[in-house]
Amino acid sequence: MSKVTFSVIKADVGGLAGHHAVVPEELKVAEASLAAAQKSGLLLDHYVTAVGDDIQLIMTHRKGPESKEIHDLAWRTFKEVTDKVSKPMKLYGAGQDLLSDAFSGNLRGMGPGYAEGEFDERPSEPVLAMMADKTEPGAWNWPLYKIFADPMSTPGLVIDSKMRKGFVFRVMDMQADKFVDLKAPEESYEILALLGTTGRYAVQSIWRRADNELAAVSSTSRLSFMAGRYVGKDDPCMFIRVQAGFPATGEALDPFAFPHLVAGWTRGSHIGPLMPVGLKDAKCTRFDGPPRVVALGFQITDGKLIGPADMFDDIAYDRARQEANRMADFMRQHGPFMPHRLGPEEMEYTQLNDILKSLESRMKPSAEMLVVPA
């Protein structure tokens, strides 16, 4: 049997009442488009959902990652949703993530984000698709390190012989458009040195060293770097293969019980807690957030998707949500001050830059400090 490819491709092509959520009509059009592709034999299976204002196309097929046919399908689907629903309804930001009219068959640099990987389906193949709104790919850095490199979080790293050799972290420098492969555990400090800079470095994929099996893939696009101006945050997606030599489902979910601080809250310019939620709460409200993450569990069975299980729709995450709300109160009190607001490097493409420019001519040397203001 040839390998199965798991693709999670997402885009924001229009929101209801702002950058808040999608309307059911958008999902209906996307669903019909993928159902037709499945009928034609291109897809093995699909599942369409949304997290906040982002439509998520979850697909299985045999075309491999970055396949022209699959990317073309995703692009056409987002375009159709835009033309048939978002634009006629004048939804907010209709078509916003479709950066160019000239689509050439690959989504790289085109706006939508994607996490794709191919592998031999195991006798039982559980995977978790994770999708977040109002944040960026670097938001996965902290949990992915915990899951795949921290034995205090993932006991499988100690107990499971397939995991004990560790994992390779393929880390992307999103600014330079380069990547480096680093080995955990022996290069943990190098890994942390990069992953700590969440706005620039992100994990693109993780591989099990015992046999070079693919363990996880994340979307690593950054719209702001692509477009050279602020065009929205790259709300990220990823997937993790779990169990039997990979992290247990619970080991992959556990780090999210701590709502760590991530960038991307309002105007893509603020830091806030990443709140784990079920699909029913995957909508952004307070201060356009707080940033939210959903985890959907599937079995891939002969290429078909069984599920999903809505993992964070569970009382075990109630405390994390409460904590996230408390952290949101705490962060909000800072108003426009860092570290709630991002630092100047990250604000480069926002309108704040215009203010700085407009003040340039009024900036005087410090030697003139004793002069009384005019």
Could you tell me the smallest distance in angstroms from the CB atom of residue 61 to Mg ion?
Answer: 25
**Separation CA 319–CA 193 (nearest Å):** 30
In the shown chain, the binding pattern of residues 83 to 122 toward Mg ion, with x for contact by CB under 5 A and - for none, equals ----------------------------------------
**Separation CA 367–CA 130 (nearest Å):** 54
Residue nearest to ligand F6R (CB): 288
Which position among 12, 26, 97, 346 is part of the footprint of Mg ion (CB under 5 A)? Answer: 12
**Separation CA 365–CA 136 (nearest Å):** 38
**What three-state secondary structure class fits 224?**
helix
Could you tell me the smallest distance in angstroms from the CB atom of residue 207 to ligand F6R?
Answer: 32
Q: Which of 47, 145, 230, 317 is catalytic?
A: 230
Catalytic residue status for 313: no
Q: Which of 47, 233, 288, 317 is catalytic?
A: 233
Residue 336 CB contacts under 8 Å (≥ 6 apart), including other chains: none
End-to-end CA distance of the chain: 80
In the shown chain, the binding pattern of residues 127 to 146 toward Mg ion, with x for contact by CB under 5 A and - for none, equals ------x-------------
Catalytic residue status for 189: no
DSSP codes joined into one string, 38-103: HHTTS-SEEEEEEETTEEEEEEEESS-TT-HHHHHHHHHHHHHHIIIIITTTT-BTTTTT---S--
> Using CA of residue 92, residue 93, residue 94, residue 97, what is the dihedral sign?
negative
- Provide the token pair at 312: 């964070």
Q: Which of 12, 45, 234, 288 is catalytic?
A: 12
- Cβ neighbour number for residue 344 with a 10 Å cutoff: 11
Could you tell me the smallest distance in angstroms from the CB atom of residue 352 to ligand F6R?
Answer: 13
User: Is 229 among the residues that bind ligand F6R (CB under 6 A)?
Assistant: no
Which position among 10, 19, 267, 321 is part of the footprint of Mg ion (CB under 5 A)? Answer: 19
Could you tell me the smallest distance in angstroms from the CB atom of residue 15 to Mg ion?
Answer: 6
Which position among 46, 61, 63, 134 is part of the footprint of ligand F6R (CB under 6 A)? Answer: 134
User: Is 288 among the residues that bind Mg ion (CB under 5 A)?
Assistant: no
**Separation CA 18–CA 160 (nearest Å):** 46
**Of 43, 45, 102, which Cα lies nearest the Cα of 75?**
102
Contact status, residue 203 vs residue 171, Cβ threshold 8 Å: yes
Within 246-305, the residues that bind ligand F6R by CB under 6 A are 266-268, 288
Q: Of 49-57, 207-215, 250-258, 331-339, which segment contacts Mg ion by CB under 5 A?
A: 49-57
Residue 266 binds which entry of Mg ion, ligand F6R, none, CB below 5-8 Å type-dependent: ligand F6R
Catalytic residue status for 230: yes
- Residues of the shown chain interacting with ligand F6R in the complex, contacts defined by CB under 6 A: 18-19, 134, 232-233, 266-268, 288
Q: Which residues are catalytic?
A: 12, 230, 233
